[in-house]
Amino acid sequence: MQPLIELKSVSKTYGSGKKRFQAVTDINLTIQKGESFGLIGESGSGKSTLAKMLIGLEPPSSGTIELAGKPLWEGDKFKPQRPGEMQIVFQDPQSSLDPRMTVKEIILEPLYALSAGERKQKGSMERLQQLITRVGLKTDQLSRYPHEFSGGQRQRIAIARALITEPKFVILDEPTSALDVSVQANVLNLLKELKHEHQLTYLFISHNMSVIRYMCDQTAVMYKGEIVETGPIEDIFQHPRQAYTKTLLSSLHPLQAAGVNQAENHSNELSP
């Protein structure tokens, strides 16, 4: 089966001469259609640089990136086959929404990369209302501005915006890192449901091991610009082979280490 995303020996270097900095080195990666692919790494691991190369913000220095078998980059020019096929949700919902636009304008904005016909069809009021209610906001909130919303609500707006073009592939760059735990749970649930409903493929970037474990079925661990380990999520979490992965895992489940078991908490009492 042809992978949806394929990276072949992708590298990225910034600067030249003495200031040369290799951000990403020789990455080979395939993401199959329908997968949730988790990319784990700490700051400086190159995971954000990878996302930038996928979404068109930074050209790779060498190697090829393909979406459904078609290269995304022609030299330094980003040439996706069809605009809107790929979308991204950024970490910081404060700064990823234009403060001078209403929620409606924000969500419809990606459609301006499409043809007029497609724009009309996908940007219908009916579809917009459906989408906004689906992400958990009310239709009368469409005329509000981003500053009137909480962090979690803003991230929901960003998710609605990413889905308006009916993408196949969505990059989630630390989508819940800036949110509170209780809000995070809501957003993660929403993302899982949406993936199912729209047959999406996710690249989920995070430094949070438990979020990746919960959300993804495949994963790759990045360290200093390289992928040190990759495979199905259970393999990586149960039988990590690399020392670095083991270190990362040791920071996981501190509550379990302290003997806390969720079952004891009768958390099921909470679900109404």
Partner 1 sequence: MSVQTELLPAKRTVNPLWYKFRKNPLTLVGLVVLLFIILLAIFVPLISPYEPTKIHVVERFSPPSAKHLFGTDEVGRDIFTRILYGARLSLGMGVAVVLSAGVIGTAIGAVSGYFGGRIDQIIMRLMDIVLAFPSLVLAMAVAATLGPNLFNALLAIAIIKVPVYVRLARAETLALRERLYVKAAYTFGIKPWRIITRHIIPNAVTPVIIQVTLDIGDAILMVATLGFLGLGAQPPTPEWGAMISVGWKYLLDYWWYPTFPGLALFLASCGFNLIGDGIRDILDPKANR
Partner 2 sequence: MLLEIKELSVEFQSIQGKLQALKNVSFSMDEGEIIGVVGESGSGKSVTALSILGLLEKNAKITQGSVFYKGKDVLRLGRKEQQQLRGKEIGMVFQEPMTALHPTMRIGDQLAGVIKRHRQVSSKEAAQLAIRSLAEVHIDHPELVAGKYPFELSGGMRQRVVIALAMSAPPTLLIADEPTTALDVTIQDEILKLMKELSVKRGTAIMFITHDLGVVARLCNRVIVMYAGEVMETGITSDVLHRPAHPYTRALIGALPDWADPNEPLSAIPGETPNLFNRPAGCVFADRCPQALPLCREDRPALEAYQDNQEHRVACWVR
Contacting positions for partner 1 (CB under 8 A): 55-57, 80, 83-84, 87-88, 90, 92, 95-101, 109-110, 112-113, 144, 148-150, 165
Judged by CB, which is closer to partner 1: 7, or 103? 103
Q: Taken in order 43, 183, 200, 217, is the CA torsion positive or negative?
A: positive
**What DSSP string describes 203-225?**
EEEES-HHHHHHH-SEEEEEETT
- Spell out where the chain has E strands: 5-14, 21-31, 36-40, 62-67, 70-71, 73-74, 77-78, 86-89, 169-173, 201-206, 218-223, 226-232
Tell me, what amino acid is at 272? P
Residues between 213 and 232 with contacts to partner 2, criterion CB under 8 A = 213-215
Q: Identify which range of 18-26, 81-89, 115-123, 254-262 contacts partner 2 by CB under 8 A.
A: 254-262
Number of residues that bind partner 2 (CB under 8 A): 47
Kindly give the pairing relationship between strand 201-206 and strand 218-223.
Answer: unpaired
Residue 252 φ/ψ, nearest 5 degrees: -90, 155
Q: Quick one: what does residue 56 bind among partner 1, partner 2, none, with the CB cut-off 5 to 8 Å set by partner type?
A: partner 1
- With CB under 5 to 8 Å by kind, the binding choice for 47 among partner 1, partner 2, none is none
Select from partner 1, partner 2, none the partner in contact with residue 204, using the beta carbon and a kind-dependent cut-off of 5 to 8 Å. Answer: none
For the purposes of burial, counting CB atoms within 10 Å of the CB of 222, is it exposed (0-12), middle (13-18) or buried (19 or more)? Answer: buried
Interaction partner, residue 34 (partner 2, partner 1, none; CB < 5-8 Å by kind): none
Among 29, 209, 221, 222, binds partner 2 (CB under 8 A): 209
Q: 95, 124, 150, 242: which one contacts partner 2 (CB under 8 A)?
A: 150
CA atoms of 222 and 45, how far apart (whole Å): 6
Least spacing, CB of residue 136 vs partner 2, in Å: 11
Nearest distance from C-beta of residue 179 to partner 2, angstroms:
9
Residues 6+ apart with CB under 8 A from 48: 173, 205
CB 178 within 8 A of CB 91: yes
User: Minimum CB separation from partner 2 for residue 255, in Å?
Assistant: 5
Q: Report the partner that residue 110 touches, choosing among partner 1, partner 2, none (CB closer than 5 to 8 A by kind).
A: partner 1
